[in-house]
Structures are given as structure tokens and as C-alpha cells.
Amino acid sequence: MVEDLLKAALDAARGTGVRYAEVRLYSDYRHEYLAIKNGQTEVLTSRDDRGLGVRVLRPKGWGFGATSVLTREAVREAALRADRMARSAEATGSEIPWTEEAHLPHQGHYASSVREDPFEVPLEEKVALLSDAVRGLQVGPAVKVGRAELSAWKEEKHFLSSEGASYVSQITHVGAGMVAMALEGGEMQLRSYPTSFGGDFAQGGFEHIRSWDLPGHAAETGHTAVALVTAPVAPSGVMNLVLASDQLALQVHESVGHATELDRVLGYEAGYAGTSFVRTQDRGSLRYGSPRMTIVADATVPGALGTFGWDDEGTPAQRVEIVKEGIHTGFLSSRETAARINLPRSGGAMRGEGPLRTPLIRMTNVNLLPGDHSPQELIQEAKKGIYLETNVSWSIDDKRLNFQFGCEVGRVIENGELGPLVRNPLYSGMTPVFWNSLRATSNPSTWHVWGIPNCGKGQPGQAMHVGHGAPMGLFENVRVGGGTL
Amino acid sequence: MTTSPVTEPSHDLLAKVLSRVSGTADARLYRERWTTLRFANTRLYQPHWEDSAGVSLRVAHEGGRIGVATTTDLTTEGLDRLVRQASALAAQAPPVRSFPGFPSGHRGHSSSSSATPATAAPRLEAKEAELERALARCGILAEPRVAGVYNEGDCELAVANTSGLSSVARRTVAQASFLVEDLARDPPVSGWSEIAHWDPSHVNLDALAAEALERTPREPAHPVEPGTYRVLLRGPAVATILTMLSMGGLGAFAVEEGWSFLTEPKGAPRIAESLTISDDPSDDRGLPSLMDYEGTPHRPRHVFERGEARGPAHDVLTAARAGVSTTGNALPPEAPWSSAGPLPLHLVVESGTATEDEMMRELGRGIVVTRLHYVRYVHRQKTLITGMTRDGTYWVDHGQIQHPVANLRVTDSMLGLLARTLLVGKDARCYNEDERGVLSPIVPSLLVDGLHFSSATTF
């Protein structure tokens, strides 16, 4: 049945004059989301979707059509609509370049490595785990909210293109986290574990959720939230800054990942997501950061959220160098955008969120490679400054230059040692200035690939699962503030 | 796998789902058909067509044990699986305190007046022609780059429950934005315009292009020092601020948890007396929505009345806990973002009497902000936000625009800036923050006596 529908859609899409067409059919697209707050159910929900998306390339225009109804008639209509859209786009467009990649097409099968299927773990056990965590967070009356959540996704995607590419992808993702909200004397503070905004996310099974051991970290998380309420406000000024791995991962995401998406660089996202300060001619010459900065977009990292077999144009997963020793060397790209700057092949970064969204250039796992310092050595080298952990606020301009981030936790660094807790820390900067102030990063034993399941982009909007490997990092002379800047 | 096309009436389909449930439940059917004309680099790019249907089911077992499942597989097998999933979740769910059950209501269909046969059918050809004219119009610039989107959706939401409620609301959503850049300037300059309306003929791409073009400066931007300036916030910037505010203390969860400004011991801070802000999903200047996701009919209510804060948004559950009636602000229970609890999604700022010219004269010396980008909370309890200006920031002196200014970072309290509002504009417009008709404030421009810009750029 799946093959029939794929073929029916592709046949309908492949009308006269169509240069390329691809069909993605999701025969299984599941999401389970469980959240317990203060011992009560906040959300226990299970999503079970199906659908098919068709993308058509005519010489001067793209079109996309999608349906959640899996019948021959419905998928055929989606394909014809995609072609109708492509014809419409041709009226205002010029020739669309496209890499002819000799290594394509590919046929194959990709599956996540899953030890414990999260959908087979009894609900009772999942609820108990979250309830235990919530109880553990509630260390005193100041904790007004203890909340724990977990997510699991499973998708089975069938891909077929007019070039003969054909693959099946079975991907399982999981995530879990918890947060304590303490409120006393009119001051509210949050503390999360393993990081904020739902926790950490990975590709694989329930074994990841067990490994994060939410109940085992709950009391400490709750106590830190309470301590933050009465902690002094973070100091203000220009100082040395040590970022924990989770915050540095988000810094990479916002100021490197998005900035090097080639559709943004070329102006194709100007209306909503924005553009980039990076220009196509900067490749090989822009000093993005200090020599300690090497960043790769690697869709092959085992167990990471941005890992897959092939992207949604049939291009195999690959490792693309973005910044090497501080010099900008590459982009996140697609077959069209790669061709626009005369690259021989796509970087394999095209993905769509489910069947109803068109593929776009999305981050894979955009990773800052580790250095050689231990965490203690980083703090010692900072001498005087501040250490920040776990994002609570993030904002950056549409060219990815001017950023301001806030963190849950700060600790003053005095005489090369971590000092007292401070609350409401912020830091800000301009992307290349900031990255050029990178003096050192921590060693591989401290490096972690964080999963972010909600990277927003596109019109209509899409949320993508991406990964970011990051160590700790020491930056010099950064503008820091407490509460505001 | 034999998914059938969704042809049966909503009421019948939901009745079929509810008849399979043991216990109490409510269910929603969503049917949507969207056309998106997205344009970038002065061409139609990645246009999109989408047809979807799905059902969400919320099952409540004894004691307020609630589970929610959703599916787009509307076959008999798919619906059976949906019921099993929701029931299984409910069986394991920790009880929700004071769950009052599902609201009772009438049987039969009711229909939104916002969609008419004339607007229900997508008018693709007409919009394509409008877009072509709009793109051509921008050719007067030295090096134009035009981007934006036109979205048109025909949407149906049906809600039914085991207490007898059964309602259907149909509506059309049309929304567009238009960005004009002139890349010949160094740094490039830009102008912006946007609108949302239930009637697609009110969303004219050529008119939006003309407005964006008129706002596109003819000279490069000048840098301005960070600091606090008197500002004129145009509609798109006000809409973004109101959307943030709707998620920051105006919902019942924030009140229950004690961090809403509505719970401050000294009383909720007042905003300017000139400001009356309502939650009014029925306002037909925008995207009317006749009921919430529990099927409760919407009714307008004040959120701030002449500067004084009123109560939070409620759904059936939080209203029962607070001992009040629901305000009709339930979110879709199947959506992860429903964990925010009930929120006001249709904030309307009551228009004042000031024209833009009068507001400019009163501004005297300061900054016009058209649009804000990437606005996030710095501290939700304090309603402190940060974000960047974008696409149309200008320096004003003697009540006249002097030149564009390079983008600035705003870091300020929303309640603070609303308290410092001096004038409220006469002309209001609907903006759709999510492009799918959910968050759709209707706002005029505001003149604010002091907005804090925490950092600056040179572009």
C-alpha cells in the first residue's frame, strides 16, 4: 500500500516539464508527551499521525503539496497541487540551479539504534518516574512548582524521488527534563535539569531517559532554585565568562548554526527568520572566531538528535566543516543553494517537519569541537569573572550578530575559583567579536551533544530536531549584567 | 492502512468517536486547507498547499484522571486506536485537582459567521496577480529585494463532548506580510507591512507592498546610542508585545502558581489609563473565532480597563478551581503548548483618537519602531522582555522622520512601557503572530514616553 501511494503521488507529480519530484510518506508519525506538575497531570498526550508531502521542481519554480489523507485520490491531488504551485512560482522566477550529484540516487534503510523502545515502556512506569522526580523537586514551601516531563517520537518515513532515490527511515527520539520554580518574597527563580526547556533530547530509546536519572537529581535541582531566590543579583560589567556546555550549545545554535544556513545567507528567509551577516564570499576568509573555534555540521554522530541516513532530497548524511580554527569554511546547504554558489554537492541539510511541511535547510548536529582544558583549568584561567549555566532567555537579531542571553545560574569566579551563586545573569555581544574572544574550551570528557527539539523556521512554521555538541568555553571581556544590561 | 477521505459531517464523526469511549470525554475535529504564497528574493518561492484533518480526544476517568490522544488516521481502526490510547493514558494519569467534568451544551451545529461562501474558496489566481503587481511596484528601488508571505486557510473546528455539547465553527483566515529591502544602500534599508483578516479581499498584497515601499528609507541607517527614548511603536511591534504579554501572567496558571503580576501583594500594577485592552475573539476587524477548544462560546472581556488589570483567562478546569465561570480561553489539550494553561489569544487594544501625524508631532524627538524581532522573556514574572528592532526604525526630530536608524536591542518591562503610554492611535489592524490564525491581536500604534534600548548595532 505504501509503495502504491508513493508511486501514485510521484507519477502525478511527474508531469510534462517537471525537472525533479520527491515524495515523503509518513506511515507512522508518533509523539507521546507526558508532563506532571505538582503531582497532578499537566499533559498526558499521544499523537498518531500519517501523511504525505510532495515537492516538485520545474525549471523556474518549486511547489509543495501535502495531505494527511492517505488514499490514491488524496495523494494524487496533493501532487497535482504541488505541480500547480511550481507552475505558479515559474511566473515570477528565473532558472533554479540544482546540483547533479553523481553519487545519487541512493536506496537503503536507516534506523535509530534503540535498546528500549519508549513506546513499549509501560505508561505506569513513565508516570511513576515523573511523579518521583516532581516529589523530589519539592524540597520546601518556596518551591511553588515542580514539573517533570518526557517525550518520545517515532517516525517511519518512505522516500521516493524522480531520480530513483528510495529509502525508508525509522527514527526514534526521546527527551526528558524537570524544573523547579521557587517563589519567595516576590522573587521567582527557575532551576532545570539536565537543562531547560524540556531537558535533554537524544536519538534512541528509553535508555537515555533512564540515564538522565531525574529522580536522583531532583533534590539538588529544587535546592538550587530555592537558593537562587535569595542569591545576590549577578554583577555587571565587562568580564571573563565561562559558559557551561548546555549554554554554549545554544550559543552555537543561534550565532553559528542559523548564521551559516545558506538559504538565509542567500536571502531566501529574509521575510521571517532573517538573513545573515555571513556572505557567500566569506567562505575561506572570514575570521569567525579565535583559533580555538572549530565547528562541524555532522549528521552522522551516533545517538544525536540531528542524525539521519539521508536528507529530504535523498542526499546522504555527512560531516561538513563550518569553521576551522576560527576561519569560516562552509555552509549548511541544499542541492539548490549549493549550486547557487558553485559547490559541487549539497551539504545534505534539507529536512521537513513531518509530511505537511516542505524541506528546508535545517541544522543537523552543529558541534563545537572540544579543546584540552579540564573544567577546573578553565575556571583557573578565567581568574576573575563569571560562570553561567542553563539558558533561560535568548534573543538575537535577524542577521545573527547582536545577541543577548540569560541563564538560570551564575557563579562568581574569584581568584580562579568558583564563588557564590548569583541570580538573573545576562550576557551580550556581537557574534564575531564574541567568538574571537574564545580563549579555551574544555576537553572531550566534558563534551556533550545536546538535543534541541524545537528549532523554529519557515513559513508555514516548522519545528526541527537538531543537535549541538559543545564543551565548556572561556571567553574574555564579555559584557555581563544582572537582571538587565 | 486505509485512510478514508474526510467526507462525513463533523457531528457524526465526533459522535462516532465519543460512542466508543467508556466514561466521559470531549473530542475535537480539525479540518484545514491552506494555500501559502511565500515569496523571497523578489519571486514566488516555495509556495505551499496543504489539506489536513485530525481528531483529538480527551478522556476523563473518575477523579479527574485525564488522557489525550490525537490522530489523522480517521479510519475505523484509527479511531479505535485513538480511543484506546486516550483511555490508556487516562487510566494511568495522576488526578487533576477539582476537575469539574466537561461543560454541557446544546446539540446540533452552530456556524461561525466569519466564513462566507464567497471567502471559503481559495482565490489563488487573484492573489498571484496581486503579487505580480506588488513585486513589479518595488522595481522603482535601485536594488530591490522583496520577501513575504500570503496565507489563506479554510478551517473548521468541531467540538463535542459526552455532556451533550456539540458545536462547529468554520472560518477563513487570510494573513500577509511584505518586506521591501533596498540592497543598494550600505547598510541596506527596509520597510515592512502586514495584516490579517477573515476576508481575503481585505488582505491586498499590492496595497501592502505600497505601504512597505513608502516606509523604505531612501538613505542608509545612522547608528544611535543605546539609552531610553520616547518612541512611537507601530502596530506590528505592539502586536508582538501584546502576544508576549498574553503568555506572561494573563493566564490562570500564572495566577495559581503565584508568579503573575495579577497576584502582586500590593495589587496589579496599573498601565496607562488611556489603555483598555480586551480579549475579544468576536472582533470582526481581525480573525473572529467563535469558541474555544472546549466548545465554550467566546465572549469579550476586559483584560485591562482604563489601565486597571482584570482577572486572568480561564478554561473550565481553572475556572472551577477559582470558583468563577470559564472565560472561554481553553487551548487545544493535545498541543504541548497547552501546558501554559488558558491564555487570551485575541487581545484587542481599544483605539484612541490620535492620527499618525498627531502622534509624530507629540513624539517630537525620538524613535519610530515598526517591527520587533526574536522577542523573548528575560524575566517572565517582571514582564521583562528583550528583542531587536527590525525593518523600519527611524529617528524623529520636530515631529518629522529625519533618517533611518540602525537596529537597536529593546530590553524593558512590558507593563512599564504600557504604563508610560501617552497616546493610542486611531487606526487599528489585526496581526497574526503564528500565521495560522491562532494568536491574532488587534492593535493601533502607541506613543510611549520612554523605551529602554540596551544595545545598538551599525546595521
The ipTM, to two decimals, is 0.95
Nearest CA in chain B to A462: B434
User: Do A195 and A256 fall within a single domain?
Assistant: no
Give yes or no: residues A272 and A195 share one domain.
no
Query: Nearest-CA neighbor of A297 among A449, A174, A445?
Result: A449
Residue A125 burial (CB < 10 Å; 0-12/13-18/19+)?
exposed
Contact B88 A63 (CB under 8 A): no
Separation of alpha carbons A204 and B12, rounded Å: 40
The pLDDT assigned to A90 comes to 95
Taking the CA of residue A42 and the nearest CA in chain B, the distance in Å comes to: 6
Contact B88 A123 (CB under 8 A): yes
Most A-contacting residue of B30, B92, B431 (CB-CB within 10 A), to test interface: B92
Distance from CA of A121 to the nearest CA of B (A): 13
Pick the last residue of a domain from A206, A230, A254: A230
Average pLDDT (A88-99) is: 94
Q: Answer for the pair A201, A453: CB distance below 8 angstroms, yes or no.
A: yes
Domain ranges across chain B:
10-214, 227-456
Chain A residue with CA closest to B53: the answer is A68
CA distances from A169 to A24, A68, A166 (A): 10, 19, 10
Contacts of A1 (CB under 8 A, 6+ apart): B1, B2
Nearest CB neighbour to A93, from listed B43, B69, B131: B43
- Given pLDDT bands bounded at 50, 70 and 90, which one contains residue B43? very high
Alpha-carbon distance A111 to nearest alpha carbon in chain B (angstroms):
21
B253 has a pLDDT exceeding 50: yes
B251 in A contact zone (CB under 8 Å): no
Residues A376, A459 within the same domain: yes
Higher pLDDT pick, A415 / A101: A415
Say how far apart CA A134 and CA A142 lie, in whole Å: 14
Among residues A189, A214, A230, which one ends one of the domains? A230
Q: CA B99 to CA B64: how far, in whole Å?
A: 5
Residue-wise pLDDT tens digits, B144-166: 999 999 999 999 999 999 999 99
Q: For residue A453, how many other CB atoms are within 10 A of its CB?
A: 22
Q: Which domain holds residue A167?
A: 2-230
Angle between helix axes A123-137 and B76-92 (nearest 10 degrees) is 40
Nearest-5° Cα angle at B200, B199 to B202: 75
Spell out a b/e string for B358-369, using b for 16 or more CB atoms within 10 Å of the CB, else e.
Answer: bbbebbeebbbb
CATH number (domain holding residue A200):
3.30.2290.10
* pLDDT per residue as tens digits for the range A167-206: 999 999 999 999 999 999 989 999 999 999 999 999 999 9
On whether both A223 and A256 belong to a single domain, the answer is no
* A175 shares its domain with A245: no
Residues in chain B with CB shorter than 8 Å from the CB of A406 are 378-379
Q: Are B390 and A398 in contact (CB under 8 A)?
A: yes
Mean pLDDT of B105-119: 51
Mutate to test the interface with A, among B4, B33, B43 (most CBs of A within 10 A): B43
Are residues A175 and A252 located together in one domain of the fold? no
Rounded to an integer, what distance in angstroms lies between the CA atom of residue B66 and that of residue B86? 8
Q: How confident is the model at residue B266 (pLDDT cuts 50, 70, 90)?
A: confident
Chain B residue with minimal CA distance to A150? B336
pLDDT recorded at residue A100: 85
How many Cα atoms within 13 Å fall on the side-chain side of residue B415? Answer: 21
| Average pLDDT of the residues in A206-234 | 98
Q: Which chain B residues are within 8 Å of A133, Cβ to Cβ?
A: none
Contact A388, A423 (CB under 8 A): no
Q: Which residues numbered 252-311 in B keep a CB inside 8 Å of some CB on A?
A: 257-259, 264-265
Percentage of the residues of chain B whose pLDDT score is greater than 70: 95
Residues A180 and A312 grouped into a single domain: no
Beta-carbon separation of B36 and A460 below 8 A: yes
Q: Are residues A300 and A201 in the same domain?
A: no
The two most distant CA atoms of chain B are separated, in Å, by: 70
Q: What is the distance in angstroms between the Cα of A313 and the nearest Cα belonging to chain B? A: 15
Question: Is A430 found in the same domain as A297?
Answer: yes
Chain A hits for B94, CB-CB cut-off 8 Å, are 36, 39-41, 127, 131
Task: Please answer yes or no on whether B179 and A27 come within 8 Å at the CB atom.
Answer: no
Spatial separation of the C-alpha atoms in residues A389 and A405, rounded to whole Å: 11
> What are the tens digits of pLDDT across the range A38-86?
999 999 999 999 999 999 999 999 999 999 999 999 999 999 999 999 9
- How far does Cα B328 stand from its chain's mean position? 16
Q: Which of residues 331-390 of B touch A (CB under 8 A)?
A: 333-334, 336, 338-339, 373-381, 384, 386-388, 390
Chain A residue numbers with beta carbons less than 8 Å from the beta carbon of B457 are 397, 401-402, 430
Residue A105 CB neighbours (<10 A): 15
The candidate with the shortest Cα–Cα distance to B159, out of B85, B48, B19, B58, is B58
C-beta separation of A411 from A469 below 8 A: no
Of B264, B242, B241, B260, the C-alpha closest to B318 is B260
Does residue B142 have a pLDDT over 70? Answer: yes
From chain A, the residues in CB contact with B67 under 8 A are 44-46
Claim to verify: residue A325 and residue A350 sit in the same structural domain: yes
pLDDT for B121 = 47
In total, how many domains does chain A have?
2
How many degrees, rounded to 5, is the angle at CA A341 between CA A335 and CA A345?
Answer: 35
Residue B68: list chain A partners with CB under 8 A.
Answer: 43-46
A73: its cell numbers: 485520490
| pLDDT above 90: percentage of residues in chain B | 87
**Which residue of A lies nearest to B388 if distances are taken between CA atoms?**
A397
Final residue of a structural domain among A205, A230, A255: A230
Question: Residue B411's closest chain A neighbor by CA?
Answer: A484
Contact A183 B151 (CB under 8 A): no
pLDDT at res. A483: 77
Positive or negative, the CA dihedral A246, A248, A251, A256 is negative
Q: Is the bond into A460 cis (omega within 30 degrees of 0)?
A: yes
A62 to B42: CB separation less than 8 angstroms, yes or no: no
Say if residue B433's pLDDT is above 90. Answer: no
Q: What is the pLDDT of residue B106?
A: 64
Q: Is A181 in Cβ contact with B257 (below 8 Å)?
A: yes
Segment A437-479, tens digit of pLDDT: 999 999 999 999 999 999 999 999 999 999 999 999 999 999 9
Q: What are phi and psi of B263, to 5 degrees?
A: -105, 10
Window 94-153 of B, Cβ < 8 Å to A:
94-97, 124, 128, 131-132, 135, 145, 147-149, 151
Please tell me whether residues A169 and A263 are part of one structural domain.
no
Residue B256: closest C-alpha in chain A: A144
Please tell me whether the peptide bond between B288 and the residue prior to it is cis, using omega within 30 degrees of 0: no
Which of B 11-50 lie inside 8 A of A, CB atoms?
34, 36-50
* Nearest CA distance, B358 vs chain A (angstrom): 30
Round to whole Å and give the CA distance between A165 and B192: 41
B366-379 vs B347-349, strand pairing mode? unpaired
pLDDT, mean of residues B241-257: 94
Instruction: Confirm or reject contact between B89 and chain A (CB < 8 A).
Output: yes
What is the pLDDT confidence band of residue B290, given thresholds at 50, 70 and 90?
Answer: confident
Distance in Å from the first CA to the final CA of chain B: 54
Q: Is B163 on the interface with A (CB under 8 A)?
A: no
Q: pLDDT band at residue A117, thresholds of 50, 70 and 90?
A: very high
Q: Are residues A457 and A377 located together in one domain of the fold?
A: yes
Query: Which stretch of DSSP H or E encloses residue A21?
Result: strand A20-37
Residues of A in contact with B4 (CB under 8 A): 69, 71
| Three-state secondary structure call for residue A338 | helix
Q: For residues A233 and A72, give the distance between their C-alpha atoms in angstroms, rounded to a whole number.
A: 62
d(CA B358, CA A382): 54
Superfamily of chain region B10-214: PmbA/TldD superfamily (3.30.2290.10)
* B331-344 residue pLDDT tens: 999 998 899 999 99
